[in-house]
Structure 1
Amino acid sequence: MSEAGKIFVGGGGEGYGIPQTLLLGYGNRHGLIAGATGTGKTVTLQILAEGFSAAGVPVFMSDVKGDLSGIALPGSEQHKLHGAFLKRAETIGLDLKYGASPVTFWDLYGKQGHPIRTTVAEMGPLLLSRLLELTEPQEGVMNVAFRLADEEGLPMYDLKDLRAMLTFIAENAAEISTTYGLVSVSSIGAIQRRLLVLENQGGENLFGEPALDLADMMRVDPDGRGRVNILAADQLMGAPRLYSTFLLWLLSELFEELPEVGNPDKPKLVFFFDEAHLLFDGAPKALVDKVEQVVRLIRSKGVGIYFITQKPADVPDDVLAQLGNRVQHALRVFTPRDQKDLKLAAQTYRENPRFSTEAAIKEVGTGEAVTSFLEDKGIPGVVERTLIRPPSSQLGPIDAGVRAMLMAGSPVAGKYEAEIDRDSAYERLKARAEAAAKEAAEAEAAEAKAAQEAKEFQIDAREFNSARRYDGGRAEPKKTSRRSSSDSVGEAFAKSFARQLGTKSGQAIVRGILGSLFKRR
């Protein structure tokens, strides 16, 4: 398929340039695959994934349209678009051999792949705020929730843990506001409503345990081929914010967890981000800055990121500047904005004196592209018109039966299917609430009992004092059931006193005071 240390991407023929290869040593310098719908981006993505896998590099990619699963089966005559692939292979001098890549299927919803989860704590307040589209004050409340969870020893794994923390904050808003700044109950309510929307989109499937072990994304088979991890994203695209936030979280985790490796001979992992514009649409500057930081620094961890989108303008300039390996399929120009995007795309390539880059980007057909890959010392290659090589694996999706069979034979089969619900914020706050309710019930019972004792043994103060005056102080107090204004005052006092004490020690004090009065009987 490729020479040692290289991935063959495509070649020429009459009117085309020299064969184009991606050097594995620069595979972690990131890349861009761009072009209008139907111009061949999916095939380019597939042949790059095949090449990395064959070189022993694990791959992660999202299957947005549901047609990348074919990489798990070898190609055949039925999948050559009526001979178009054979003709292209002949034109570029490729001896096309069929073959499959080892694949692990993943799915946030657990239907078309192994469940893939993270915890609320691992996601963090910044990405969760992005996912929930929170305002700045609401994001502040989210930060308070995470801070309190750490300080109070309340781990947050799933959404019910987060909801429990928000309820706890709402019930103690006054006290918490004095320490962490104003916490608005209305902001908490708004977050709770956003969580409900997320649940309706199936977002609760993302949070929980067992959480994804990154090592399972970076497996290499015994035969030396890297596994291709495919995330089923056709259903997930119905919640684009969930899709982009999850992939950004995965990038962030790779950045945080992987050790520095410098400039390896080949990447440790290659990450393909399809529909990349979703990552940046409406994203706050703080989040875009975080993406730029990850893209700039993660290459030293041996990870290559390849953005797939319709036009380079979908990617911010600071991120675009980090993408050294580029495949530009045709751009369609229908509006003045399209013309501007075309000019900007052409300006990002190292010019070739043989043709106009801008004209070539408009003219290339399906399966063709304008390409530029990093050469020795990381120098961008001169732009070339290229016929993209056909894939060795099946083009198009596999059927459900084959997918189920491959999942059953996966090295992670059975590891993530059963969800675990550990003791966490929800359970601990629930236990606190139950203990507080029990204590309150005991206090109320103590108050009622003290009040009852006061009623049974109250003294008519006026009669008692009158009797003592009449017989010189020898009269004994008498029990009475007659209610008077002094009875009401005494009963109110007893109830108030018991209410203030309300504990077992309080009960003992009340009994001691009342008992000492009646010992004189």
Structure 2
Amino acid sequence: MDKAGQFIEQTQKGYTTKGDYIYVGAGMLNGEVHSEAAVKIPLKTMNRHGLIAGATGTGKSKTLQIIAENLSEKGVPVLLMDVKGDLSGIAQAAEGADFIDERHQKLDFPFQPKNSPVEILTLSDQKGIRLRATVSEFGPVLLSRILDLSDTQTGILAIVFKYCDDHHLPLLDLKDLKKIIQYSTEEGKEEFQKDYGRISTASTGAILRKIVSLEQQGADLFFGERSFEVKDLTRRSEDGSGFVNILRLTDIQDRPKLFSTFMLSLLAEIYTTFPEKGDMDKPELVMFIDEAHLIFEEASDALLDQIESIVKLIRSKGVGIYFVTQNPADVPEEVLGQLGLKIQHALRAFTAKDRKAIKLAAENYPISDFYDTKNMLTALGIGEAMVSALDEKGRPSPLVATMLRAPMSRMDVLTETELKNLINKSQLVSKYNEEIDRESAYEILNKKIEIAEKSEAKEKAEKDRKEVTKTTSRRRTNSTEGAIIKVLTSATFIRGVMGILNKFLK
């Protein structure tokens, strides 16, 4: 058997699946596409997480689009983090083109234009379904990690949350949290010290500064009600297709702290909410995090540890997480080691640093009998990638240079009119886009302070009134005594008394 025959046989053996799967393309060897060497990803391994990497312009977003729309077709809901704003076209079927037909002829695979059911989500003021969470839902531990607090500051935050629980003070948004922290060292200082111990103003000041820093990245829009229910990410359309939930993040590229905050809260909420699933025929939800380096570049060690822990555990809930970034080195090694599917598009070697990164990237993939992986990574064309997956038993499949299929949906964004119509048709807009600002810690504490101030003012007024009365009485007494003394010591009175005495003595 020649080398091409060996390659086809090995690929067929490594990517054979008895259950349902996603077809991503066909293997290539020495520049030739072998349609018999089909690259198929078993649906039951899609909760084992993955990586889509490659230089700008090599086709990462289109690969993400291919996998997302095929998952949707198989009834698997998807969440896409759309940082660049180029994924909304999934809601419209592809128009078709000659280069697409040519590609699919090489793959010997029919091209069928199709759209997916889509929901547009947002963290900010952009059009879409608003995602929010309350401060209470985060809790002191998670919030401390996001704010990168010291042990002392974390303890103070725990006391603040305990006080709010004990006194039935809802912590909904950041103004609630700031108010109770200020209250703990000002108006409520004695109350806190009596029940919970002394709280340092230096520590509360540091916590408040970090909250303000988070606010400046737009977190004030994220914290509040109504809280988004993660079960709404797992909706399916009437024909059984999973919804593709596209979270628009084009306006927070320069606010990685907010991105990290949202991601961690979402993962934590999914982990605590979703039941244990074990091994499933297909995942419950698959998440794609585009520009994944935004999560990690400013994350503290504590935050990274939390993300790593959740990534390890969340697959048992039937959830797969896929990181999309330029270089595998953008993802911490501890997380990278948890990823089952790896799709590596071309990398560019312009500098010594780039060449070193390519060498390290090549070492992340299985050794191949057919490729020099390091050189192959620089030779891949647009829409081509090195693929390494897991088979149905969780074993790594052979590394295959793959010509990828084209997306069934539009490879461009929706127009403003199309976007508006899509959002208006959503069943979730009325549920989440109403702004709610019910009475919470901020309002309750303000009333408490106001009542205390009025009571204090009333006591002071009463005290002042009594003091005035006492002073007035004293003045009257002093005035009477002074008048008597004045009469008794007057010359007229003395002369009169002396005259009487003289008469009496005579």
TM range (shorter): 0.7 to 0.9
**SS state at 1:306 partner:** strand
Are residues 1:204 and 2:202 paired? no
Structure 1 partner of 2:489: none
Q: TM-score, normalised by structure 1?
A: 0.83
- C-alpha spacing 1:456/1:20, structure 2 compared with 1 (3 Å): same
Give the 3 Å change call, closer, same or farther, for CA 341–179 of structure 1 in structure 2.
farther
Match of 2:429, SS?
A: coil
* Counterpart for residue 15 of structure 1: 32
Mapped to 2, the partners of 1:31 and 1:445 lie a distance apart of 70
C-alpha contact 1:131 1:242 (8 A) present in aligned 2: no
* Distance in structure 2 (CA, Å) of the matches to 1:440 and 1:382: 78
**Cα displacement (A) at 1:195:** 3.5
Matches of 1:143 and 1:298, distance apart in 2? 26
CA deviation profile, 1:25-78 (whole Å, cap 9, x unmatched): 11101111011111110000001100110111110011111110000000103x
Alignment match, 1:47 = 66
Distance 1:365 1:173 in 2: 66
- Report 1:10-409 matches (<5 A): 10-12=25-27, 15-16=32-33, 18-77=37-96, 80=97, 83-129=98-144, 131-132=146-147, 134=149, 138-171=153-186, 172=188, 176=192, 183-409=199-425
Q: Which amino acid aligns with 2:54?
A: G
Unaligned runs of 5+ in 2: 1-16, 483-506
Identity %: 42
User: Residues 159 and 204 of structure 1 are in contact (CA less than 8 Å); yes or no, is this contact kept in structure 2?
Assistant: yes
Counterpart Cα distance in 1 of 2:480 and 2:25: 107
> For residues 347 and 162 of structure 2, what CA distance do their matches in structure 1 show?
47
Q: Give the Cα separation in 1 of the matches to 2:55 and 2:156.
A: 41
- Aligned partners of 2:39 and 2:284: how far apart in 1? 22
Cα distance in 2, alignment partners of residues 35 and 358 from structure 1? 13
Asked if the contact 1:367–1:387 (Cα under 8 Å) also holds between the matched residues in 2, the reply is yes
Q: Please, which of 409, 432, 440 is the counterpart of residue 456 of structure 2?
A: 440
Q: TM-score, normalised by structure 2?
A: 0.85
The whole-number CA distance in structure 1 between the counterparts of 2:95 and 2:79 is 24
Contact 1:105–1:232, Cα closer than 8 Å, also in 2: yes
Structure 1 CA distance, aligned partners of 2:83 and 2:393? 35
The secondary structure found in structure 2 opposite 1:10 is strand
Q: CA deviation at 1:482?
A: 6.5
Query: What CA distance in whole angstroms lies between the structure 1 residues aligned with 2:53 and 2:214?
Result: 30
Tell me, yes or no, if the aligned pair for 1:218 and 1:269 is still in contact at 8 Å: yes
Matches of 2:194 and 2:347, distance apart in 1:
56
- The 3 A distance-change label for structure 1 pair 131 and 483 is farther
**What CA distance in whole angstroms lies between the structure 1 residues aligned with 2:195 and 2:60?**
53
- Shift of the 36–174 alpha-carbon distance from structure 1 to 2, 3 Å rule, reads farther
Q: Deviations over 1:91-134 (max 9, x none)?
A: 11121111100000011124221111111112233544455455
**Given residue 246 of structure 1, which amino acid in structure 2 is its aligned partner?**
F
Q: SS where residue 52 of structure 2 aligns?
A: strand
For residue 197 of structure 1, report the CA deviation from its aligned partner.
4.0
Q: Is the 8 A contact 1:10 1:92 kept in 2?
A: yes
**Alignment partner, residue 481 of structure 1:** 479
Tell me, yes or no, if the aligned pair for 1:7 and 1:51 is still in contact at 8 Å: yes
Cα offset for 1:138?
A: 4.5
Q: Following the alignment from structure 1 to structure 2, what is the Cα–Cα distance between the partners of residues 232 and 361?
A: 31
Query: How many Å separate the matches in 2 of 1:267 and 1:211?
Result: 24
Count of matched residue pairs:
461
Unmatched 5+ residue regions in structure 1? 460-477, 485-521
SS in 1 for 2:288: strand
The whole-number CA distance in structure 2 between the counterparts of 1:178 and 1:452 is 35
**Cα distance change of structure 1 residues 199 and 284 upon mapping to structure 2, 3 Å threshold:** closer
- 8 Å contact 1:16–1:385 — kept in the other structure? no
Offset, 1:155: 1.5
| Superposed displacement of residue 176, structure 1 | 4.2
Which secondary structure state, in structure 2, belongs to the residue aligned with residue 8 of structure 1?
strand
Give the aligned residue type for 2:469: E
Within 2, Cα distance between the matches of 1:356 and 1:16? 17
Give the C-alpha shift of residue 175 in structure 1.
6.4
Q: Following TM superposition, by how much is the alpha carbon of 1:311 offset from its aligned partner in structure 2, in angstroms?
A: 1.3
Distance 1:483 1:96, change over 3 A: farther
Separation of aligned partners in 2, 1:270 and 1:420: 30
Distance 2:178 2:430 in 1: 29
